[in-house]
Chains A and B, each alone.
Chain A
Amino acid sequence: MQIADEIGVVPPRMTGVAGALQKAEQWLGSAIAAAAALLVVAEIVVLFTGVSARYFFQRPLIWSDELAGILFLWLAMLGAVVAFQRGEHMRMTALVGKLDPRKRAFFDVLAIAAPLAFLVLVLEPAYEFASDEAFVSTPALDISNLWRAAALPIGLGLMLLVALFRMLSSGQWRLTATAVALVAVVGAAFYALSPLLIPLGNLNLLIFFVGLVAVMVFAAVPIAFAFGLATFAYITLTTSTPSTVVIGRMDEGMSHLILLSVPLFVFLGLLIEMTGMARAMVAFLASLLGHVRGGLQYVLVAAMYLVSGISGAKAADMAAVAPVLFPEMIERGAKPGDLVALLSATGAQTETIPPSLVLITIGSVTGVSIAALFTGGLLPGLVLAIMLCFVVWQRYRKEDLSHVKRASWGEVGSTFLVALPAVALPFVIRFAVVGGVATATEVSTIGIVYAALAGLLFYRRFDWRRLYPMLTETAALSGAILLIIGAATGMAWALTQSGFSTALASFMTGLPGGAPMFLAVTIIAFVVLGSVLEGIPAIVLFGPLLFPIAKQVGVHEVHYAMVVILAMGIGLFAPPFGVGYYAACAISRIHPDEGIKPMLGYVLALLIGTIVIAAVPWFSIGLLH
């Protein structure tokens, strides 16, 4: 976890007014971090109580999900504040990193000034949104929905406060003034131009969601705020839609209960590391595969393939794997950039492996059998895994392993015994899901209880002092990931309501060239759509429009589903716009810049794999009867 601080900008210690502000900011920061840490604990307790009541006592608690959901929005928002304070919101600094330090310092201040603009703009809509929710009551607990919705204005308000503190305590008055002025001028220019923008219609989608987003992303504005600002600007300047919708969409995007498994798996990963289980597990794998070049990389690919069958949510899968394997892999000399690229690539590769939420979504919006999709998705995932492994082999075949001694079978055996409780964990988790003990959302809590017990009783390693930092780290990480997902959901809404999907679908219907052409255009379209629409929304929007066309040109629906999912996955997990890529970076605590170059080879492999799947229907439908 030594790379964490690179992302944040740690300000120097100040004196005078700036010093007092810095103190106040630190005090506020620790208070929020403490609340967020408490929320993580509360989530674990609530979900585990829910599982126990249902499975062990046969008395399900109808309110446990709802309570977990309410706490979750608070956790996401407060976590986002903690991440903001620590400068841990994902940004792309590949370009600004090449500048000299003085110019780069300007962009670091801009990375606070642009979010500040977003926060100032949305504070009032957030307040209005929350006050409107006061009249809605939650179904299970029958309390005012304000208990939940208040998290949005309060979280955004606290972030605004932290942003102000950070700017004022930096002491770089001229840089700060310039950055704020730049943001204000650009904003005013857009505002002044809005009468000219409205008649442009859907061309505005390109201006705001391609142009403006790209400029902000490459100027190293944190991704979540780049998405948020573009969406807010588009909505307010080119439509008559009230801006509260941006907040409403953020709310829904961050509230899918399955996403709760993200922080819980992150915490599980930290716990596994802290108790020494990770070390034991990796020691065993290393004794088994350490003499193989790229051995642990193959383990990573295999682990993602297996884990992906459990949760159905990709960010959760990555959170279950990366924290266990990465520290050890980096210690053994793997490059962080290559690791995060491989992790992100496996995210795309495993999209078709059941029980993927994407498959369930396709099944319900298009009428294809979900069971058939579950069967059909197994081989395409494998084909892509082989493609990725080929790149791994290519990259590591010259790895110098002269210092590594091949372990004897005796050593393998003894490391296996020590690792047994740790190696059993994935099986415990798998059994809990397949055996109907817990849902994908809840199962991480079973893992947490298991890991805590194994740490306390078997490994006798449980550092209580590390627990609190682990909890705040979990909260900050979840906040950073969820804020991006929330902002991307708002962006997807803005695109959807414009009605551009029908135009694109009719364009694709009119293409000459039959099935091959249709599949080729599908791949290109879904790589782009997956990138800008954040995965599942792309499926919901285009599935019902394109599946009938696929049938017309003679492509089997399950085959088509696989092509669509894999292409969408490439877009979702490829930089610079893919949300999944930033989730991978956040989870593995590796800076987004590092993974871009190594990612090229993997994306190429995924693309070739997808073309193979498109060209050979057998991989998708061969196992169906």
Chain B
Amino acid sequence: QAAPLKLKFGNDLPATHTVNLRLKEAIEAIGAETKGQLTISLFPNNQLGSDTDMMTQLRSGALELATMPSTVLSTLIPAASLTGVGFAFTNYDKVWAAMDGEVGKYIRGSIEKVGLVPFEAMWDNGFRQITSSTHPISSPEDLKNFKIRVPVVPLWVALFSAFGAAPVSIPLNEAYSALQTKIADGQENPLALIESAKFYEVQKYCSLTNHSWDGFWLLSSQRIWKTVPKELQEVMQKHFNAAARKQRDDIVQANAEYRKNLESKGLAFNETKADAFQAALAKTSFYKDAKTKFGDEAWTLLQKYAGNIG
């Protein structure tokens, strides 16, 4: 009998995030089914490094498993950010049809080319929403000259610039202070992060813009993966893919709770109409530029699920 295989699993999410809760379950199930032949240790909260660095660790084989947001992955694989095109997916039905369908397949193909192994089912990070300390964002005009802290993801910088906003680049761990001192008027993130980073303590409004959707790919290192026995690979695939599908439902439920919780802590919520934003965006060169960037093949696939966005 071979020595038990030990793998490290890292990510940048709080230990209590739905992703990590489901991962813990899956890891236990894998341990039980393989009778201790495979033990996986989960390192949440950036413990093994930032997403960017974990991506490097994965490629070199220093880290065996990780969940990686598309946005970070896109610095290595441009196609990965296809899912984050502003106001492309307007609901979860479209998202999962695309990601479990041809868009997902197309992106997985690109991921495999760079020494990484993607698991089939993608995990949910959630639609992104805007918080603000000055005014609620209810129409595209509200974004004019709005100083918004955005992760430096070219697609999102372009999105907010197209609306005439002023995107500001500030590291996430300094965002709280920057919002408190009003260096930025607002920021945008999924509700789970707005809650865990405590932005509600320094913001007044939360506008449900759903302006972009992002998910996590569960990745393994090719250097490691090819040394893992086939039957263990299959056990991992079975449990991780199943866990991802459960986590998608978790997020939908959790979002309702996050909203209730954030409201009780003083954030004023407002809903917005995606059509108005999409139409305003279509008047700019945003979609045209994105199409040039991703190429015709990818764009056609995206439109198949997202509809004719321009």
Query: B-contacting residues of A (Cβ < 8 Å)?
Result: 54, 58-60, 62-66, 128-129, 132-133, 135-140, 142, 145, 241-242, 244-245, 248-249, 251-252, 256-258, 312, 355, 357, 360-361, 363-365, 367, 369-371, 433-441, 493, 496-497, 499, 537, 540-541, 544
Contact A251 B62 (CB under 8 A): no
Shortest distance between the CB of B241 and any CB in chain A (Å)? 26
Contacts of B75 on A, CB cut-off 8 Å?
136-139, 145
- Cα separation A163 to B182 with both chains bound (whole Å): 48
Contacts of B145 on A, CB cut-off 8 Å?
58
- Cα separation A361 to B175 with both chains bound (whole Å): 12
- Cα separation A145 to B76 with both chains bound (whole Å): 10
Closest to B199 in A: A370
Contacts of B50 on A, CB cut-off 8 Å?
252
Contact A544 B152 (CB under 8 A): no
Set A135, A249, A370: member contacting B114, Cβ < 8 A:
A135
Closest to A53 in B: B166
Contacts of B15 on A, CB cut-off 8 Å?
365, 544
Closest to B71 in A: A139
Contact B45 A540 (CB under 8 A): yes
Shortest distance between the CB of A337 and any CB in chain B (Å)? 35
Contact B196 A367 (CB under 8 A): yes
Apart from the given pairs A252-B52, A360-B176, A493-B48, 4 other A-B contacts in the complex at a CB distance below 8 Å: A54-B147, A139-B152, A252-B49, A544-B15
Set A65, A142, A248: member contacting B56, Cβ < 8 A:
A248
- Cα separation A136 to B78 with both chains bound (whole Å): 10
Contacts of B44 on A, CB cut-off 8 Å?
544
Shortest distance between the CB of B188 and any CB in chain A (Å)? 14
Closest to B74 in A: A139
Closest to A54 in B: B168
Contact B47 A496 (CB under 8 A): yes
Contacts of A370 on B, CB cut-off 8 Å?
176, 198, 201
Contacts of A54 on B, CB cut-off 8 Å?
147, 166, 168, 183
Contacts of A63 on B, CB cut-off 8 Å?
169
Contacts of A499 on B, CB cut-off 8 Å?
41
Contact B59 A132 (CB under 8 A): yes
- Cα separation A139 to B145 with both chains bound (whole Å): 22
- Cα separation A250 to B144 with both chains bound (whole Å): 40
- Cα separation A248 to B75 with both chains bound (whole Å): 17
Closest to A489 in B: B49
Contacts of B157 on A, CB cut-off 8 Å?
62, 140
Interface string of B144-157 (1 = CB under 8 A from A): 01010010111001
Contact A369 B76 (CB under 8 A): no
- Cα separation A369 to B201 with both chains bound (whole Å): 8
Contacts of B201 on A, CB cut-off 8 Å?
369-371
- Cα separation A364 to B195 with both chains bound (whole Å): 9
- Cα separation A371 to B61 with both chains bound (whole Å): 40
Closest to B39 in A: A499
Contacts of A493 on B, CB cut-off 8 Å?
48-49
Asked if B173 CB lies within 8 Å of chain A CBs, one says: yes
Contact B47 A540 (CB under 8 A): yes
Asked if B16 CB lies within 8 Å of chain A CBs, one says: yes
- Cα separation A248 to B49 with both chains bound (whole Å): 9
Shortest distance between the CB of B219 and any CB in chain A (Å)? 15
- Pairs A–B under 8 Å by Cβ, sample size 9: A60-B166, A64-B169, A129-B60, A139-B154, A245-B57, A248-B49, A249-B53, A252-B49, A363-B176
Set B53, B152, B177, B180: member contacting A62, Cβ < 8 A:
B152
Asked if B1 CB lies within 8 Å of chain A CBs, one says: no
- Cα separation A62 to B152 with both chains bound (whole Å): 7
Asked if B190 CB lies within 8 Å of chain A CBs, one says: no
Asked if B91 CB lies within 8 Å of chain A CBs, one says: no
Contacts of A369 on B, CB cut-off 8 Å?
198, 201
Asked if B288 CB lies within 8 Å of chain A CBs, one says: no
Query: A-contacting residues of B (Cβ < 8 Å)?
Result: 8, 14-16, 41, 43-50, 52-53, 55-57, 59-62, 75-76, 114, 145, 147, 150, 152-154, 157, 166-171, 173-174, 176-178, 180-183, 196-198, 201-202
Closest to B147 in A: A60
Set B46, B59, B153: member contacting A139, Cβ < 8 A:
B153
Contacts known (A60-B147, A364-B197, A371-B198); A496 close to B168, Cβ less than 8 A: no
Contact B183 A242 (CB under 8 A): no
Contacts known (A242-B61, A436-B182); A367 close to B47, Cβ less than 8 A: no
Shortest distance between the CB of A319 and any CB in chain B (Å)? 18
- Cα separation A369 to B62 with both chains bound (whole Å): 34
- Cα separation A453 to B201 with both chains bound (whole Å): 38
- Cα separation A142 to B153 with both chains bound (whole Å): 10
Contacts of B62 on A, CB cut-off 8 Å?
241-242, 244-245, 248
Contacts of A440 on B, CB cut-off 8 Å?
174, 177
- Cα separation A241 to B169 with both chains bound (whole Å): 34
- Cα separation A62 to B148 with both chains bound (whole Å): 11
Closest to A135 in B: B76
Closest to A438 in B: B183
Contact A258 B56 (CB under 8 A): no
Contact A244 B60 (CB under 8 A): yes
Contact A66 B152 (CB under 8 A): yes
Set A64, A128, A142: member contacting B154, Cβ < 8 A:
A142
- Cα separation A55 to B57 with both chains bound (whole Å): 38
Contacts of B114 on A, CB cut-off 8 Å?
135
Set A65, A66, A140, A361: member contacting B173, Cβ < 8 A:
A361
Most buried by B among A66, A245, A434: A245
Shortest distance between the CB of A246 and any CB in chain B (Å)? 9
Contacts of B150 on A, CB cut-off 8 Å?
62
- Cα separation A300 to B68 with both chains bound (whole Å): 45
Contacts of A436 on B, CB cut-off 8 Å?
178, 181-183
Shortest distance between the CB of B21 and any CB in chain A (Å)? 13
Shortest distance between the CB of A540 and any CB in chain B (Å)? 6
Shortest distance between the CB of B228 and any CB in chain A (Å)? 13
Set A363, A437, A497: member contacting B198, Cβ < 8 A:
A363
- Cα separation A257 to B181 with both chains bound (whole Å): 18
Contacts known (A242-B62, A540-B47, A544-B15); A433 close to B53, Cβ less than 8 A: no
Contact A251 B47 (CB under 8 A): no
Closest to A492 in B: B47
Contact B168 A248 (CB under 8 A): no
- Cα separation A241 to B181 with both chains bound (whole Å): 43
Contacts known (A132-B59, A248-B57, A252-B49); A140 close to B152, Cβ less than 8 A: yes
Closest to A537 in B: B47
Contact A434 B60 (CB under 8 A): no
4 A-B pairs with least C-beta separation = A245-B62, A436-B182, A436-B181, A139-B152
Contact B169 A62 (CB under 8 A): yes
Set A60, A241, A252: member contacting B167, Cβ < 8 A:
A60
Contact B166 A434 (CB under 8 A): no
Shortest distance between the CB of B152 and any CB in chain A (Å)? 4
Shortest distance between the CB of A82 and any CB in chain B (Å)? 26
- Cα separation A242 to B181 with both chains bound (whole Å): 43
Contact B46 A540 (CB under 8 A): yes
Contact A439 B170 (CB under 8 A): yes
- Cα separation A361 to B182 with both chains bound (whole Å): 20
Set B47, B59, B154, B178: member contacting A140, Cβ < 8 A:
B154
Closest to B185 in A: A436
Contact B198 A133 (CB under 8 A): no
Shortest distance between the CB of A11 and any CB in chain B (Å)? 39
